[in-house]
Structure 1
Amino acid sequence: MVIAVVGIAVLGLLGAAHWYVWRRLVRDVSTPRSRYRRAGTVLVVLLPVLSLLALVGGRAFPLAVERWFAWPGYLWLAVLLYLLLALLVGEVLRPLLLRLPRRPSRDRADRPAAEELVVEPSDEPSGGPAVKGVAVKGVAVKDVAVADSASRRLFVSRVVAGAAAGVAVGVVGNGAYGVLRGPQVKQVTVPLAKLPRAAHGYRIAVVSDIHLGPILGRAHTRRIVDTVNATQPDLIAVVGDLVDGTVPELGPAARPLADLRARDGAYFVTGNHEYFSGAAPWVDFVRELGVHPLENARVELPWFDLAGINDIAGTSQGQGPDYERALGDRDRGRAAVLMAHQPVTVHDSVRHGVDLQLSGHTHGGQLWPGNYLAELANPTVAGLERYGDTRLYVTRGAGAWGPPVRVGAPSDITVVTLASLRA
């Protein structure tokens, strides 16, 4: 029942948003029977249908079919967001533009007054030479004023609509280029009190939220693998949300992960999207690729413990996070680095004496102003923060979910350099 109500509310909001966009970008800038109005109306109906198909495509269609909906459908959602924001700014500017003084046309300014003024006889019974109205070439001044006002409103509507469309397309185009170009490398140094001097400078490449699916595929994985390997890390941590689909569909796209190279290996923990796609097959598949899954498990490396927990989304399937299994019997005199997809688990990490938690999940908000919404659900949206004796680092992720677009939250692969306080 709740899901149905939420679904109806979301459809209602989408309908209202598209009606508003149609009004400002189509109706207000065109004549009723123009080709532009007909084409614009068709697009405003078709594009949200493609967006809905893209959102439900993974459950209703095979991946090859879903790709046809995903590109236009998801991109339109991003364009719609920035169209709405730009049009709302336009609503503030519109009254100001309508009040700007208008320069008189040259032909009217040069025309003698005698040609403009026509005095018509009065219809009043009393008769007499009274002025009924003033006309310009047979058109009443009142009508001229109305026509002039309508012309100005049309001009302002077209200016606002054109500017809003230009801004939206420009922002989304730049954001899509950033995703398709691939993530950039960030460098972060994290001091750990328990880290021995011999491990000072140890480098962990943190990768999250690759989101292989109908848009991002094998070429995206190859870019990420090449970027990670170029940093020459000591260890690679893949902290969830690798895929949006099944192993038969996306296994070939993930296969370049077999080429990840690090002295102490590559490790993987599940994210919430793995449980949407079937986590167990993906855990087996990445193991075949040489990436070591940590399912509520721990590896004792020479200088610190590396642990990983399942994502919270696995709880409903009996595969949720288990801190006791991962960390319960460890030597607390050693530093502990935990891979956990969602940053919200940091409070449990504090209770279990974790020194550093590596997370993703938030995408840094992905599409501004989404970062403000992400702050409501996550203790840290991006970057390094401290909670008690635990450091939390959240990467913005290497891919994108839904629209292959990022605005104000560029994708990254982070090299975390561990620093010993004893060095």
Structure 2
Amino acid sequence: MPTGVIVVLIVTLASLALVQWRVVRRWSSRPARTAGTVAAVAAALLTVAAAVGLLAGAGRIAPDGVRWISAAGLTWLATVFYLLLTLLVLGVLWVLARLVRRFRPGFDGAPLRRVVALVGVVGAVVATLYGLVEAATPRVTHTAVSLASMPAAFGPLKVALITDIHAGPVRNRTFVQGVVDRTNAEAPDLVILGGDMIDGTVAQIGEDLAPLRGLRAPLGVFAVTGNHEYYAGDAVNWVQRWRDVGVRPLVNESVRLERGGAAITVVGVNDRKGTPPLAVDYDAAFAGVDPAGFALAVAHEPLQGREFAKRGADLQVAGHTHGGQLWPFRYIVKLQQPAVAGLEKVDGMPVYTSRGAGAWGPPVRVASPPEIAILELRAA
């Protein structure tokens, strides 16, 4: 479980205890005290449920028996995030009110803060409910990409990019099957799985990826690891699981695809946070690749595009960012990644970053809908 999330859980529980002790128990109305106490206890239980969901995602708990607990707790985390934003705004208003009172001693900013608090609480709940609906069904997006280096004889190439399903604590086999069905309906020539397919171990949720066996693409189905394949310490088994369901892993290697008398090369590398024997190795991946030919690079993070650009790749596809997942996280992601969503450039090389089909942590997306990306590559 990430350290930052642990801190949020501890702070949330401590804040609930403080509110109960310093605010709720001092209310004069007994019904109000009872309602406040029930709400505080419910919030504390949801916070504990969030920890259960995160432990299931780390492979510490088998998710099958606790998915409803995980779903409730992890959804609550989205609400907590927006409540924390509200607290931040209230803190700024309190500081501003203190400054104004230096010049206007009679100024009272409390009424404004009460309104902001009410709007913030209602907004947090509404945003979470909206985000649950938005995250439930990934939409199919279509993007045309014209590339001067694409061999015209190869013909238009329809690539389905599936990333960040995060099957495990909340999403199960049914969700994965839906992604497969929607992908097949697009009749892609090539399917690429861009990492973070799961949260957990093969022993616990390996069957949730069984529907991947049904993916259909004449040029093949390929996959690279994401950072989450490593978190439960089971990356080697996940790569084997992909093979078991008919998916070809690209473990720092390339594959040549031929059609119409022309050829392109798909180059895949492990996630940059991977550990041996699945650590990233760009030089090994590009060994034997014709520098004058067309190379489609695959890696989980758009940040890895900097290494691809150095080696002359023509296009990278990636995931990882979730497009921010919960607004306004996309602006924070931009500080760490050179691309966030859609078609952008990294060191002069085009990179398509998928928002991902699933969600990590809260099964909630706000202003960042999930996607199955269909890229239509053509010669410029």
TM-score over 0.5 for the alignment?
yes
Q: Structure 2 vs 1, CA of residues 288 and 13 (structure 1 numbering), >3 Å: closer, same or farther?
A: same
Q: Structure 2 vs 1, CA of residues 88 and 388 (structure 1 numbering), >3 Å: closer, same or farther?
A: closer
| Contact 1:337 1:356 survives alignment (8 Å) | yes
Q: Structure 2 vs 1, CA of residues 8 and 227 (structure 1 numbering), >3 Å: closer, same or farther?
A: closer
| Contact 1:384 1:392 survives alignment (8 Å) | yes
| DSSP 3-state at the match of 2:243 | helix
Match of 1:393 in 2: 352
Match of 2:102 in 1: none
Q: Structure 2 vs 1, CA of residues 23 and 239 (structure 1 numbering), >3 Å: closer, same or farther?
A: farther
| DSSP 3-state at the match of 1:205 | strand
1:14 is displaced (CA, Å) by 3.2
| DSSP 3-state at the match of 1:353 | coil
Match of 1:305 in 2: 265
Report how many aligned residue pairs link the two structures.
362
| DSSP 3-state at the match of 1:312 | coil
**Which aligned pairs between 1:150-229 and structure 2 lie closer than 5 A?**
163-180=119-136, 182-229=137-184
Amino acid corresponding to residue 49 of structure 1 in structure 2: V
1:283 counterpart (239, 256, 260):
239
Amino acid corresponding to residue 79 of structure 2 in structure 1: V
Match of 2:106 in 1: none
Choose 197-206 or 62-71, whichever is displaced more: 62-71
1:336 counterpart (291, 295, 299):
295
Amino acid corresponding to residue 307 of structure 1 in structure 2: V
Normalising to structure 1: TM-score of the pair?
Answer: 0.77
For structure 2, the 5+ residue unaligned runs are: 95-108
| DSSP 3-state at the match of 2:273 | helix
- Residue 15 (structure 2) pairs with residue 14 (structure 1): no
Match of 2:97 in 1: none
| Contact 1:384 1:391 survives alignment (8 Å) | yes
1:86 is displaced (CA, Å) by 4.2
Distance, in Å, in 1 between the alignment partners of 2:126 and 2:22 is 19
1:193 is displaced (CA, Å) by 2.1
1:329 is displaced (CA, Å) by 1.9
1:390 is displaced (CA, Å) by 1.9
Q: Structure 2 vs 1, CA of residues 13 and 332 (structure 1 numbering), >3 Å: closer, same or farther?
A: same
User: Could you say what the CA RMSD is over the residues aligned between the two structures, in angstroms?
Assistant: 3.2
Match of 1:35 in 2: 34
Distance, in Å, in 2 between the alignment partners of 1:189 and 1:86 is 40
Instruction: Pick the structure with greater CA Rg.
Output: 1
Distance, in Å, in 2 between the alignment partners of 1:77 and 1:14 is 10
For structure 1, the 5+ residue unaligned runs are: 95-152
Normalising to structure 2: TM-score of the pair?
Answer: 0.85
| DSSP 3-state at the match of 1:51 | helix
| Contact 1:21 1:84 survives alignment (8 Å) | no
| DSSP 3-state at the match of 1:301 | strand
Distance, in Å, in 2 between the alignment partners of 1:167 and 1:157 is 15
| Contact 1:22 1:44 survives alignment (8 Å) | no
Amino acid corresponding to residue 171 of structure 2 in structure 1: L
Q: Structure 2 vs 1, CA of residues 336 and 20 (structure 1 numbering), >3 Å: closer, same or farther?
A: farther
